[in-house]
A and B are shown apart, each in its own frame.
Chain A
């Protein structure tokens, strides 16, 4: 039978389901609704819960998601309206209230994330973003890990129907379909994205049917307001997805009885008739009527259950109100996890002499070495592995042949999917280390920025409960005649986000050492590769087989007393050449510091050098205006002003795009001549 036409077995039925189960469901539904109805009171009393998206009207489907989730085997990604989902999955009323009023013992993340974003990472109830549907990519990623490790479980991604307007939701579903991943995408369809009706989102009212052309995908429609229809739909979706190892969409038709959230006023865009019929179809009231109509419970029995739920809420309220608030100085905890500690190379230098390796070889060999060292490593990206081709610049050449397609594989041309599934895959266990080529060129990383931001938040937002252990490699920078979209170097923009490390080597040995440290560390690292140096002899060095470079350790590549030049990436070599030239021609003694690591930054080495020379030139390839050098300049001015004998000057790109014509490129990017001139000016100041 074609999967679209398969019937949903009626496992649950008002007349057949055992009384104990019906009783549990009623209790959970009443408990959830009591909390949902009570939430606005906390705001009115200025206690908290200042964001509340009521779930009333989604009761059937949320009960069903939670009841079908198995914390031992599955991963659940609830969205900001999933209160009952989380209660049904086993979270307590106290845990819900502590999240609502942002207490330190909020199990989602100690009050760091917005209220109504319920989670319990310890149970695989993931702490997700407020960006609607952004966790679809994480669900696809963790499901990929389940498949790779032959684990029997499913990822359940829950969100509103308007989320399908987001491109990344398409990327997730397309990827799950293509890779045949056990993900259940639940669209809780209440007809609105805040005030925007479905008709303004997409032409198809049954938005799940927008995906009907995708292979390997089952689509189930159910009545999300009805307990039995929802239970039957989700139970079937999970069983089918597990058995067939394929994704399933469940579109559950719900009603939104209240406004989108406490900051919305639905009476501004919904008429009385609509407000009346949505409240008439209250799923909880319907379930209660059914229990009585079919003589499964007496009125007295139901009242007793309602009373018990009321009591639980009362007690939970008392405990939550007495729980501690987070302390202000805790904001600096869990920004980035502690990195791998290099015992053998504590300052990231070595004295090996011998044959030199090019940067491309150093990266390739380190990747392979780390893949041999850790069997839980994976790499993917566009162009990463197809026969003899290994990456756009062949950096990953030979990896698929050695480690197989399960660990080294191509990704679709969807940068956000690459990034988001990297984040998701590392949720499966802490041993996994993922490396991705974030984009063919750094210039194409921008579509992945929403997942970049997300990944930078995860560790902090979950109060250290989840660390995305991902290294993103990006072929960066110009000097190849690449024009606007093959010359960008984007570290200046990236460095404004806390929660991510950014490294930018200039030499082969540092590239190898930083990559090894990154792949052995917990956390999220951007590994910027100056692609013009991949095969350049000037970047080639001897590389110890086990070399490691700790984060936040700059390297003084040339010592001097007259001027400190702070640089990284492509311009390190120009600075060294210019310094050598001025030394030979004029006897100037110039110090050149290769930062290697931008975040964390080696302030100590920088400030010590400034104190010694009194003059500073900052050189990088990125734009001067708002480039990373602006931060360096500000730090030096603030912390070493009294040691300065001249202005801190910067050399970098002009505040223009990089033109394709070589004349335009040259005019834009820093060059040996521009740097030499900059050095002269400062030396003569």
Chain B
């Protein structure tokens, strides 16, 4: 398997926890990259990427991702395979559950990237999500607040899925 850039903010709590667990599942192929001071060059180094993104406020990207968006908008991402995971809170913020996954996913696709790692949305209860594609999320939705006990199992299953879906 090619190297996988696992890109997220190191200055986070739950996203970092999830990233570490994903990294453990995927082994040596993974390189942890801090998005907070990422450059275009660093980002484009990886053909396989896993992006960690939380949803802030009422459905926004965290500022560390948001400030990188103008750079992504000019990138050519054809040939890149990207999987996205993100934390959400079904009960507290059901109007914009894991919107961050959807916003980032749409942007990357528009630049030519191939999204992988879709998961079923059926077992979640929420009102609206920009990550929704039919009855699937275009990434892995984790809900530490309301179903912490399921997080490990979901990550394990997702990592197995990614092993098959990454080039």
Tell me whether A286 and B58 are in contact (CB under 8 A).
no
A293 and B63 CA atoms in complex are apart in Å by 13
Nearest CB on A from B90, distance (A): 13
Given A221-B58, A253-B60, A281-B63, A206–B70 Cβ distance below 8 Å? no
Tell me whether A253 and B57 are in contact (CB under 8 A).
yes
Interface residues in A244-297 by Cβ distance below 8 A to B read: 253, 255, 280-281, 286, 289-290, 293-294
Residues of A within 8 A of B74 (CB): 15
Tell me whether A206 and B60 are in contact (CB under 8 A).
no
Which of A13, A205, A223, A255 is within 8 Å of B70, CB to CB?
A: A13
Complex: chain B residue closest to A16, CB-CB: B70
Given A205-B93, A205-B95, A289–B67 Cβ distance below 8 Å? yes
Tell me whether A286 and B57 are in contact (CB under 8 A).
no
Residues of A within 8 A of B96 (CB): 205-206
Interface residues in A206-222 by Cβ distance below 8 A to B read: 206, 209, 221
Asked if A632 lies at the interface with its beta carbon under 8 angstroms from chain B, I say: no
Question: What's the interface size class on A, roughly?
Answer: 20 to 34
Asked if B66 lies at the interface with its beta carbon under 8 angstroms from chain A, I say: yes
Select the residue from A204, A223, A286, A294 with max chain B CB neighbours within 10 A. Answer: A223
Given A205-B95, A206-B95, A14–B58 Cβ distance below 8 Å? no
Interface residues in B14-45 by Cβ distance below 8 A to A read: none
Given A15-B70, A15-B74, A206–B63 Cβ distance below 8 Å? no
Interface residues in B64-97 by Cβ distance below 8 A to A read: 66-67, 70-71, 74, 93, 95-96
A506 and B1 CA atoms in complex are apart in Å by 96
Tell me whether A293 and B67 are in contact (CB under 8 A).
yes
Tell me whether B95 and A280 are in contact (CB under 8 A).
no
Interface string of B117-156 (1 = CB under 8 A from A): 0000000000000000000000000000000000000000
Interface residues in B39-64 by Cβ distance below 8 A to A read: 56-60, 63
Given A206-B58, A221-B58, A286–B93 Cβ distance below 8 Å? no
A293 and B69 CA atoms in complex are apart in Å by 12
Residues of B within 8 A of A286 (CB): 63, 67
Nearest CB on B from A344, distance (A): 64
A293 and B37 CA atoms in complex are apart in Å by 10
Complex: chain B residue closest to A278, CB-CB: B57
Residues of B within 8 A of A226 (CB): 66
Residues of A within 8 A of B63 (CB): 280-281, 286
Residues of A within 8 A of B57 (CB): 223, 253, 255
Residues of A within 8 A of B67 (CB): 286, 289-290, 293
Tell me whether B70 and A14 are in contact (CB under 8 A).
yes
Tell me whether A223 and B60 are in contact (CB under 8 A).
yes
A55 and B56 CA atoms in complex are apart in Å by 20
A664 and B70 CA atoms in complex are apart in Å by 76
Residues of B within 8 A of A290 (CB): 67, 70
Residues of B within 8 A of A294 (CB): 70-71
A58 and B60 CA atoms in complex are apart in Å by 16
Which of B59, B60, B71, B95 is within 8 Å of A204, CB to CB?
A: B95
Residues of A within 8 A of B66 (CB): 223, 226
A286 and B66 CA atoms in complex are apart in Å by 10
Nearest CB on A from B111, distance (A): 15
A205 and B60 CA atoms in complex are apart in Å by 14
Residues of B within 8 A of A293 (CB): 67
Nearest CB on B from A206, distance (A): 6
A13 and B58 CA atoms in complex are apart in Å by 22
Residues of B within 8 A of A14 (CB): 70
A253 and B56 CA atoms in complex are apart in Å by 10
Select the residue from A189, A206, A255 with max chain B CB neighbours within 10 A. Answer: A206
Query: Can you list 10 A-B contacts (CB < 8 A)?
Result: A15-B70, A204-B95, A209-B95, A221-B59, A223-B57, A255-B57, A280-B63, A281-B56, A286-B63, A290-B67
Residues of A at under 8 Å CB distance from B? 13-15, 189, 204-206, 209, 221, 223, 226, 253, 255, 280-281, 286, 289-290, 293-294
Residues of B at under 8 Å CB distance from A? 56-60, 63, 66-67, 70-71, 74, 93, 95-96
9 closest A-B pairs by CB: A253-B57, A14-B70, A253-B58, A205-B95, A205-B58, A223-B60, A15-B70, A281-B63, A206-B95
Given contacts A205-B96, A223-B57, A223-B60, 19 further A-B contacts (CB under 8 A): A13-B70, A15-B70, A204-B95, A205-B93, A206-B58, A206-B95, A209-B95, A221-B58, A221-B59, A223-B66, A226-B66, A253-B57, A253-B58, A253-B60, A255-B57, A281-B56, A286-B63, A290-B67, A294-B71
